[in-house]
Amino acid sequence: MTQIDAKLEVRRLTPELEEDFYKYHGRESEGWCFCVAWIVPGWVGWSDRTAEENRAVRGLQFLAGKHDGYLLYLDGEPVGWCQAAPVDRFPKLAALAVDSQSGDSTPDYAISCFSIHPRLRKQGLAHRLLSEVLDDLAARGVKRVQAFPRCGRGLAADEVWTGPEPLYRKARFIVARDEKERPVFVKEL
């Protein structure tokens, strides 16, 4: 175990961690989205939205009891985020998803956003976060998870906000729909 591993912790988002969510997403490096891109209806005007508008949408999600993700902490500071919730909670994403094949009423989950603070990228933290998210989802009875990485050469970090393709391949997700720019990856838990 490296020194950085000893200082890492993954926590499922709860009402008590809302301020940490805002702290992470309010950083200049994380932009203005507040992880509502898949929640707001349609893409028209998305780039014209303000941080305040997106934060307000996130606040409404919290008021509705929707705490749909996990924070990664290093030395008690939030340094990473993974949004994960039932696919049908994200209508725009549900349109991209593959049909559930689990054969029961357990909904497929979607990993819809994935982020590690820029100064900590390329250190394996994303793999640690994803591994712990998948372990927690399995423990909660989730049977199948879908992911939607953007693929292609030369993508900037802000273009892979759904998680980089190699992250899912290393975690043994399989390609369920092979689209050139946004394939659908699936993992049975």
Please state, rounded to an integer, the average pLDDT across all residues of the chain: 88
- Is 166 part of a structural domain of the chain? yes
Is residue 63 situated within a structural domain? no
On whether residue 43 sits in a domain, the answer given is no
Mean pLDDT of 126-148: 96
* Three-state DSSP string of the chain: CCHHHHCEEEEECCHHHHHHHHHHHCCHHHCCCCCCCCCCCCCCCHHHCCHHHHHHHHHHHHHCCCCCEEEEEECCEEEEEEEEEEHHHCHHHHCCCCCCCCCCCCCCEEEEEEEECHHHCCCCHHHHHHHHHHHHHHHCCCCEEEECCCCCCCCCHHHCCCCCHHHHHHCCCEEEECCCCCCEEEEEC
Q: Residues 117-139: what's their mean pLDDT?
A: 94
The answer, yes or no, to whether residue 142 has pLDDT greater than 90, is yes
Range of the domain at 9: 3-14+69-188
pTM over 0.75: yes
Structural tokens at position 42: 């349609």
Distance between CA atoms of 41 and 170, rounded to whole angstroms? 32
Decide if 95 is inside a domain: yes
Domain count, the chain: 1
- The enclosing domain of 163 has a CATH number of 3.40.630.30
Q: Is the pLDDT of residue 55 over 80?
A: yes
Confidence label for 98 from pLDDT (cuts 50, 70 and 90):
confident
Which pLDDT belongs to residue 1?
45
Residue 32 has a pLDDT of: 83
Percent of the chain clearing pLDDT 90 (strictly above): 61
74-78, 90-94, 179-183: which has the minimum mean pLDDT? 179-183
Answer yes or no: is 23 within a domain: no
